[in-house]
Structure 1
Amino acid sequence: MGEVKGRSQEPGVRSQEPEGRSLAGRAARNFEEGPRSVLCLDIGSGTQDVLLHIPGEQPENCPKFVLPSPARVVAERLAKLTAARRAVWLYGDNMGGGFFRTAKAHLEQGLPLAAHPEAAFSLGDNPDRVRDMGVDLIDVCPSGHVPLHLADFDPGFWRTFLAAAGLDYPDLVLAAAQDHGYHPDSSNRVGRFQLWRDVLLQAHGRPEALVFTDPPARFTRLHTLKSRIGAGLVADTGAAAVLGALHEPEVREHQRTEGVCVVNVGNSHILGFLLYQDQILGVYEQHSNRSREDVLADLDQFRQGQLPHQQVMDQYGHGCLTLDLPPAAGGFTPTYVLGPRRNLLRNTGAVFLAPGGDMMLAGCFGLLQGWKFSASQPLNCQD
């Protein structure tokens, strides 16, 4: 799979605050008080999409960046060290595992690879399986190894980057990353889709349920990310995508009278949502290497509530879940498309969205939208 996520604390250890507390309390109050700037980060597998939101400024005039994702940067650095035949020690945070294949390639070259136990969770939830790959788990950098730092969010990088552009460090940070959860004894695909089951079944399909001030303990990557950004909010990238669609008035108004289908075609994953009256009634998650014909066939079944979860799993996707689809919603035929690989669905009658004027920043505007939704409608989504 290559995108197995780790943990940032022992499983079962709970914070003093209620788990899954969504946008309420301090972060919501900070927003109401009006931060001078908010850094919004949508951290994907290929890119890291960035909006420096300045309240009161036209969205088109706010600074925007599309950068390589942190995991992609790690992969490129590791590949160069592999080419130089260097031993490597990974240290730092539990982060996105998009460099997994590069790490395996390093080991297949017969080169030593070690990792700090915390950083090793970026390669897998089960330390024994990481060791079985050939990775030595050690707290300090072994002699002769080159240290390679892991982090989804590095404050020092952002201070330097923004200063070079003549910009101040933000008052608040909102960040989204895909989190498979902590599942040392099962497939991360199974664990990943359990998150969506909770949104639909426990949180009544409200997309802002995956935007947190304090993520549940099993959202291990988001826990680490939250510890780095400070008082801001974290979200799953899927939630950020659907909220990005709802940032657009056309979508927000349309789904209140008729069911719509929102599809985010990302660099690694395809996410489909059935939306009706501010509720997610269905979720479909597959990998982006599927053919156009296969995706269209899946979406046809999905809109009818007839795409079996196991069928998607058998095709190496994450799954599909639909609630009872109300007849008043219609057939969810109107389709809105987001994502860097959206051309997969070109010429299908779908509407291509550009929230805030920039399709690549859909997740960033989704973070802002989720913040506003949850500040006015506090919601708890428990483990």
Structure 2
Amino acid sequence: MGGGAITHAVLRHVERGFKVFATLRSALTFSDNIEKVREMGVVITEHANAKKIKTADVDMEFFSKLLESIEVPMPRIFAVAVQDHGFSPNESNRIFRFKLFRKVIEKEKFLERMLFSEKELPKEFNRMCDAVSSIKDFREGDVFVTDTSFAILSGLASVSKLPALLINFGNSHTTAAVVDKDWEIRALIEHHTNVLRRKGKDYVKDLFSKFLRGEIDNEYVLNDMGHGCYVGELIEIKNVIATGPNAEFFDYEEPKGDPMIFGNLGMLAMLSRRELI
């Protein structure tokens, strides 16, 4: 679910006079508001005499063939991370995403609790729900799912001296959290990486300094074209650690290794801390 590239391709196809059909489940990749999907020119139906293009958040056939080719059996426990803005047909996804994060954090508190089992998963996280369905449609097993931001922050937490400010400068979002030695999330902020890159290093350093001092709030970040800010309790941190494909543009300490695997390491750490593996 979610994808600018496929949406633009569909719009071009319709503009050229061709028909596009989508099942109700698949249509949500274009918008949470089905009426807006219809306004794009997409016909919502469960059956159509047309070329079928299968969409899914997890391509289980690919992973099955990959594991088979290296003689590794398919596991019984799956952990997957997706970027989920939540199901919000009438409210900005940018605002709704952070509302969901705050709601869960205020209830669960600990970073590893941002990894959900199928039963624990809030239904508003519709992309996570679809990722679970993509796996369960292929085979049975225990499925756990989280947002990519929390997977990466967990990966950082597993290699950092806590308490610390952990930052992921992703391609789309920059997410940072103050995490204590027990992995409790004391504060969280999420912004758009492209906005921060335009504003520059000095602005980013000042933003995080204010964040650590509790001098900015949710409204401040929203007005700055970010997603939001939550400060539960101010604590002293030992260090600031950053990762992500855009971390090189900002002057923060980075752990060694490939930044693109911190999400994988994070999910393993989350499973381990919850004694699920």
TM norm. shorter chain > 0.5? yes
Q: Which residue of 2 aligns with 1:352?
A: 254
Q: Which residue of 2 aligns with 1:231?
A: 142
For 1:268, give the aligned amino acid.
Answer: S
Greater displacement, 239-248 / 290-299: 290-299
Structure 2 distance, partners of 1:324, 1:154, is 40
Q: Which residue of 1 aligns with 2:170?
A: 266
Q: Which residue of 1 aligns with 2:61?
A: 156
Structure 2 distance, partners of 1:298, 1:260, is 16
For 2:116, give the aligned amino acid.
Answer: F
Q: Does 1:192 align with 2:103?
A: no
Cα deviation for residue 105 of structure 1 reads: 4.4
Q: Does 1:315 align with 2:224?
A: yes
* Cα-to-partner distance string for 1:228-283 (whole Å, 9 max, x where unaligned): 333121111122111111221xx1xx21xxx4211101111111111223211111
* Cα-to-partner distance string for 1:10-65 (whole Å, 9 max, x where unaligned): xxxxxxxxxxxxxxxxxxxxxxxxxxxxxxxxxxxxxxxxxxxxxxxxxxxxxxxx
Structure 1 distance, partners of 2:208, 2:19, is 45
Structure 1: state its 5+ residue gaps. Answer: 1-94, 377-383
Q: Tell me, yes or no, if the aligned pair for 1:199 and 1:207 is still in contact at 8 Å.
A: no
Q: Does 1:208 align with 2:112?
A: yes
Report the aligned-residue RMSD: 2.2
Structure 2 distance, partners of 1:333, 1:107, is 55
Structure with greater contact order relative to length (CA < 8 Å, sep ≥ 6): 1
For 1:226, give the aligned amino acid.
Answer: V
Cα deviation for residue 98 of structure 1 reads: 4.4
Q: Tell me, yes or no, if the aligned pair for 1:114 and 1:137 is still in contact at 8 Å.
A: yes
Q: Does 1:242 align with 2:153?
A: yes
SS of 1:271's equivalent in the other structure is strand
* Cα-to-partner distance string for 1:327-372 (whole Å, 9 max, x where unaligned): xx2xx47211111221121xx2x22124xx4321101111111111
TM-score normalised by structure 1 residue count: 0.64
Q: Tell me, yes or no, if the aligned pair for 1:200 and 1:281 is still in contact at 8 Å.
A: no
Identity fraction in percent: 29
Cα deviation for residue 110 of structure 1 reads: 5.0
Q: Which residue of 1 aligns with 2:25?
A: 118
Structure 2: state its 5+ residue gaps. Answer: 136-140
Structure 1 distance, partners of 2:134, 2:22, is 20
Structure 2 distance, partners of 1:314, 1:165, is 50
Q: Tell me, yes or no, if the aligned pair for 1:303 and 1:333 is still in contact at 8 Å.
A: no
Greater displacement, 100-109 / 190-199: 100-109
Alignment length, in residue pairs?
Answer: 263
Instruction: Determine which of 251, 254, 262 is the counterpart of 1:362.
Output: 262
Cα deviation for residue 310 of structure 1 reads: 1.8
Cα deviation for residue 111 of structure 1 reads: 4.4
For 2:176, give the aligned amino acid.
Answer: G
Structure with the bigger percentage of helix: 2
Structure 2 distance, partners of 1:216, 1:360, is 27
Q: Tell me, yes or no, if the aligned pair for 1:176 and 1:237 is still in contact at 8 Å.
A: yes
CA separation of 1:199/1:217 partners in 2, compared to 1, >3 Å: closer, same or farther? closer
Q: Tell me, yes or no, if the aligned pair for 2:175 and 2:191 is still in contact at 8 Å.
A: yes
Q: Tell me, yes or no, if the aligned pair for 1:175 and 1:233 is still in contact at 8 Å.
A: yes
